[in-house]
Structure 1
Amino acid sequence: MLSILKTMKKYKDYKDLKLADLGYFKIDYLKRLNKSWISFISKVKSNTSRYMKNPNPEKYKVGTIKKSSEYIKIDIIKLVETLAAGETIELNDIYIGSKRELKSRLIVTKLTEENKVKRENTLIENVRTKNMILRKSRIEFNRINAYITNVPSYIITANQVHELYSLR
């Protein structure tokens, strides 16, 4: 794994667009890309923490913000409940990771019934053959496509994110 990351680090340049597969989903790697002005698109792992700034955080009497109320955790599954199949939602200024260190755009698409069934069948097969544990949260997350990117929406629209990621 270390040699792969070294290779990925070697081949990066200002204004590049990196398509990060889930196997390479590392917050630190994406942070380094972002810091180097390199654009990225990555799928989001189901267990990745996602937050947004709380517009009305609690404050102490002296006026400082209570750290525990500074961010609101985002539940992607609840977010897409009201969406129609195939519909996409985009959230800007989302913070990724338990330490909320990577600010990005979050693009989530609710899959069509046909795609959901395909994904669920693949998941069930993987669980059976790889001795994995099937969790309800994993099944629910398998019904969506979720991406993060640092590319502004005026350059790449939410719908184009999926198309570009599919090229990898």
Structure 2
Amino acid sequence: MLSILKTMKKYKDYKDLKLADLGYFKIDYLKRLNKSWISFISKVKSNTSRYMKNPNPEKYKVGTIKKSSEYIKIDIIKLVETLAAGETIELNDIYIGSKKELKSRLIVTKLTEENKVKRENTLIENVRKKNMILRKSRIEFNRINAYITNVPSYIITANQVHELYSLR
């Protein structure tokens, strides 16, 4: 783990690790990093589309796949419903964005009750300060940690993804 931490400066060189917070969460930016062989870890915005390849897509009679059935949209909130507090789920080969251009790992952790309460209080306070509307979907997404990364799980585990991201 320490050897990974030594390379976590804000470099943009081959095989570096970039920690991108939500302010930098742009699909094009992450695609550029990926094409340059720069590893990244980023939180996922609540409004980001997430897809996986459909293992059984519908096909036309001639055998070609129907475009509308090629991918399945992932609902993170439904995905974590069955998880216990503090439990993590990891999905590989997830496509990010409406055009499904960025393939990555998705790591989602359901927060503990204590962390949920802290996050909700902070969210409510920020909504009040900024005079915003608090939506149910925002509250639900606020109860999880969701990350994407292009680093394989044999290099950085799901738990290490959270640890590394929290250092930014």
Structure 2 residue matching 1:14: 3-state secondary structure: coil
Q: Deviations over 1:77-107 (max 9, x none)?
A: 0000000000000000000000000000000
Q: Deviations over 1:119-156 (max 9, x none)?
A: 00000001100011111110000000000000000000
Q: Label 1:72 to 1:92 Cα distance change in 2 as closer, same or farther (>3 A).
A: same
Identity %: 99
Distance 1:95 1:104 in 2: 6
Q: Label 1:90 to 1:5 Cα distance change in 2 as closer, same or farther (>3 A).
A: closer
Distance 1:4 1:92 in 2: 22
Q: Label 1:121 to 1:28 Cα distance change in 2 as closer, same or farther (>3 A).
A: same
Which stretches in structure 1 are left out of the alignment for 5+ residues? none
Structure 2 residue matching 1:115: 3-state secondary structure: helix
CA drift of 1:108 comes to 0.2
Structure 1 residue matching 2:107: 3-state secondary structure: strand
**Matched length:** 168
Distance 1:51 1:82 in 2: 20
Backbone CA RMSD of aligned residues = 5.2
Residues 77 and 141, structure 2, Cα contact 8 Å, conserved in 1 = yes
Q: Deviations over 1:9-68 (max 9, x none)?
A: 994000100000001100000000000000000000000000000000000111110000
Q: Is 1:112 aligned with 2:83? A: no
TM-score (norm 1): 0.94
Distance 2:112 2:121 in 1: 14
129-138 or 47-56, larger mean C-alpha shift: 129-138
Residues 105 and 148, structure 2, Cα contact 8 Å, conserved in 1 = yes
Which stretches in structure 2 are left out of the alignment for 5+ residues? none
Distance 2:4 2:92 in 1: 30
Q: Is 1:64 aligned with 2:83? A: no
2-11 or 48-57, larger mean C-alpha shift: 2-11
83-92 or 1-10, larger mean C-alpha shift: 1-10
- Structure 1 stretches (4+) deviating beyond 2 angstroms? 1-11
CA drift of 1:4 comes to 24
Structure 2 residue matching 1:160: 3-state secondary structure: helix
Residues 8 and 16, structure 2, Cα contact 8 Å, conserved in 1 = no
Structure 2 residue matching 1:10: 3-state secondary structure: coil
Distance 2:6 2:98 in 1: 25
1-10 or 71-80, larger mean C-alpha shift: 1-10
